[in-house]
Amino acid sequence: MLYRGAGRQASLHIAISGGAEYDSQDPHEAPRERLHQLPGGDLLVAMDERLEEAYQDIIRRNAGEIEFHQAVREVLESLGPVLAKRPELAERKIIERICEPERQVIFRVVWQDDTGEVQVNRGFRVQFNSALGPYKGGLRFHPSVYLGIIKFLGFEQIFKNALTGLPIGGAKGGSDFDPKGRSDDEIMRFCQSFMLELYRHLGEYRDVPAGDIGVGTREIGWLFGQYKRITNQYESGVLTGKGLGWGGSLVRKEATGYGAVYFVNEMLKVRGDSFEGKTCVVSGSGNVAIYTIEKACQLGARVVACSDSDGYVYDEAGIDLDLLKQIKEVERRRISAYAERRGSTARFVPGGNVWEIPCDIAMPSATQNELNGRDAAKLVKNGCIAVGEGANMPTTPDGVRIFLDAGVSFGVGKAANAGGVATSALEMQQNASRDSWTFEYTEERLAQIMRDIHRTCYETAKEYGAPGNYVLGANIAGFIRVAEAMEAFGLI
């Protein structure tokens, strides 16, 4: 037996100087103490001794990939109790196997911009785990993308997808391509070149990408068109997040934001509370943020702020959703344009920190590590009672700890934002049966899935002695589902 229980705890002090960057050119040369750096201030964490050993090995084998280390650490910190209770799951290096991607593809993407200049980008697809179904997870186009980000996202996706209860494995992909300021034609040419390599790794039974940051229905259209052209097959189920006229599912666009609000609503019910009359702050102003705002408003909340990487808008009358959609979805402009057009109730704060705004409910929906310990402390001080992570890993580890210690209901991303990928799986079901469901039916399926995920996380946390800790509940429940399937397949 590899792991002998949670009783023996090894304490590890992770020293982080605020905002220090890990910048080793040759990861294998990196000084050991620097390999412990994670975003988010000083942190004292305890982890089962053998898990700690496995973690140190993962750091060595994946040097420099700090977001991946962070995501792995959060999961391993939760697993001591489950390995103590279910020692059979600890055998045969299940931790080491689950933390090693099944396949990682990195490729060159060459395209020409509108001036005729040649551009070279890097493409990624990390096919992390297929124990529960075909690889499934989004594509992110953002200049910050590198292997460590795709691996953290792919790793999170394994457990998130398991929590949905649907037959999907975990993957993520993308590119360091920056769509900002590019013309439609340039983005289309990039998508076509990207797919010219990616197609050989995809298939409705193999790997099914969707959108993420910088990739929405428009990009999925160009990617699908190129896949169809290369393979000469109309394989609807190979991508999700498609347009409604060509195999897409109603509610997929809304699903991540709606799902995150449903999840928070369940957490509020546990507290005997609801969204009615609450003040909410949402970060980001992309797909997830917009539909988080929409559903929160439908449930009676007032959303007073949202943001982009330039700053935030505060609107004391509540965000005007029609105007927000017009600016972000139709005109594709910056969030500052919202305040310009809205009039006297709204103001744009350039470079402002959206978490300084007092609120009852915070929904970080932009990107990883966007909410740190200081922000969390401020939110708690301002009376925040619930946090729902629409984004993937938006809260730094010290921020998570502050929320948990303060008794804030904290909906961790892999549970709270699972509605997007769950509805992708519903899109795959519709494609497979050549059918399409109504909005009402699909939304009810989504709502039920989010209630089930909440119940699973809640009950698992309780069973393992940490009532109300959705981080622990999500990690353990997701892990058990994947580990049991992996065990059934033998050593592969």
Query: What's the min distance (Å) between Cβ of 366 and ligand NDP?
Result: 3
Contact footprint for ligand NDP (CB under 6 A): 142, 144, 211-214, 256, 284-289, 308-310, 365-367, 390-392, 417, 420
Q: Is residue 130 part of the contact set for ligand 2IT (CB under 6 A)?
A: no
At CA 176, angle to CA 154 and CA 258, rounded to 5?
50
Q: How far apart are CA 399 and CA 391, in angstroms?
A: 15
Helix/strand/coil for 362: strand
By a kind-dependent CB cut-off of 5 to 8 A, residue 136 interacts, out of ligand 2IT, ligand NDP, none, with ligand 2IT
Query: What's the min distance (Å) between Cβ of 236 and ligand NDP?
Result: 18
Query: What's the min distance (Å) between Cβ of 343 and ligand NDP?
Result: 22
Residue 137 near residue 173 (C-beta atoms within 8 A): yes
Q: How far apart are CA 379 and CA 388, in angstroms?
A: 13
The two structure tokens encoding residue 226: 């190129």
Query: What's the min distance (Å) between Cβ of 27 and ligand NDP?
Result: 22
Structure-token match 């001036």, residue found: 115
If the CB atoms of residues 94 and 418 are measured against ligand 2IT, the closer one turns out to be 418
- What residues from 159 to 198 belong to the interface with ligand 2IT (CB under 6 A)? 160
Query: What's the min distance (Å) between Cβ of 288 and ligand 2IT?
Result: 9
What is the DSSP pairing of strand 311-315 with strand 346-350?
A: antiparallel
Q: How far apart are CA 232 and CA 198, in angstroms?
A: 15
Query: What's the min distance (Å) between Cβ of 365 and ligand NDP?
Result: 6
Residue 301 near residue 277 (C-beta atoms within 8 A): yes
Q: How far apart are CA 231 and CA 37, in angstroms?
A: 44
Q: Is residue 137 part of the contact set for ligand 2IT (CB under 6 A)?
A: yes
Query: What's the min distance (Å) between Cβ of 441 and ligand NDP?
Result: 20
H-only helix segments in 252-320 = 252-270, 287-298
Residue 298 near residue 292 (C-beta atoms within 8 A): no
- Length in residues, the chain: 492
**Segment interacting with ligand 2IT (CB under 6 A) among 64-72, 135-143, 217-225, 342-350:** 135-143
Structure-token match 């013309």, residue found: 183
The two structure tokens encoding residue 285: 């102003």
Residue 139 near residue 215 (C-beta atoms within 8 A): yes
DSSP string, 395-418: B-HHHHHHHHHTT-EEE-HHHHTT
Q: How far apart are CA 247 and CA 163, in angstroms?
A: 25
Residue number with the smallest Cβ distance to ligand 2IT? 138
**CB neighbours (10 Å) of residue 105?**
16
The correct pick among 134, 420, 473, 478 for binding ligand 2IT (CB under 6 A) is 420
Active site residue 172: yes
**CB neighbours (10 Å) of residue 465?**
10
If the CB atoms of residues 51 and 387 are measured against ligand 2IT, the closer one turns out to be 387
If the CB atoms of residues 52 and 389 are measured against ligand NDP, the closer one turns out to be 389
By a kind-dependent CB cut-off of 5 to 8 A, residue 286 interacts, out of ligand NDP, ligand 2IT, none, with ligand NDP
If the CB atoms of residues 22 and 470 are measured against ligand 2IT, the closer one turns out to be 470
Query: What's the min distance (Å) between Cβ of 451 and ligand 2IT?
Result: 18
If the CB atoms of residues 54 and 157 are measured against ligand NDP, the closer one turns out to be 157
Residue 123 near residue 175 (C-beta atoms within 8 A): yes
By a kind-dependent CB cut-off of 5 to 8 A, residue 308 interacts, out of ligand 2IT, ligand NDP, none, with ligand NDP
Q: Is residue 453 part of the contact set for ligand 2IT (CB under 6 A)?
A: no
By a kind-dependent CB cut-off of 5 to 8 A, residue 473 interacts, out of ligand 2IT, ligand NDP, none, with none
By a kind-dependent CB cut-off of 5 to 8 A, residue 179 interacts, out of ligand NDP, ligand 2IT, none, with none
If the CB atoms of residues 160 and 328 are measured against ligand 2IT, the closer one turns out to be 160
Q: Is residue 442 part of the contact set for ligand 2IT (CB under 6 A)?
A: no
- Beta bridge partners, 119, equal 111
Residue 408 near residue 384 (C-beta atoms within 8 A): yes
The correct pick among 186, 212, 308, 360 for binding ligand 2IT (CB under 6 A) is 212
Close Cβ partners of 222 (under 8 Å, ≥ 6 residues apart): 187, 188, 191, 192, 195
By a kind-dependent CB cut-off of 5 to 8 A, residue 367 interacts, out of ligand 2IT, ligand NDP, none, with ligand NDP
Q: Is residue 392 part of the contact set for ligand 2IT (CB under 6 A)?
A: yes
The correct pick among 175, 236, 424, 475 for binding ligand 2IT (CB under 6 A) is 424
If the CB atoms of residues 183 and 274 are measured against ligand NDP, the closer one turns out to be 183
If the CB atoms of residues 111 and 141 are measured against ligand 2IT, the closer one turns out to be 141
Residue 391 near residue 416 (C-beta atoms within 8 A): no
The burial of 331, by beta-carbon neighbours within 10 Å (0-12 exposed, 13-18 middle, 19 or more buried), is given as exposed
> Among the options 172, 242, 295, 378, which is catalytic?
172
If the CB atoms of residues 97 and 333 are measured against ligand NDP, the closer one turns out to be 333
Could you list the active site residues?
Answer: 172
Interface residues with ligand 2IT (CB under 6 A) are 136-138, 160, 210, 212, 240, 392, 420-421, 424
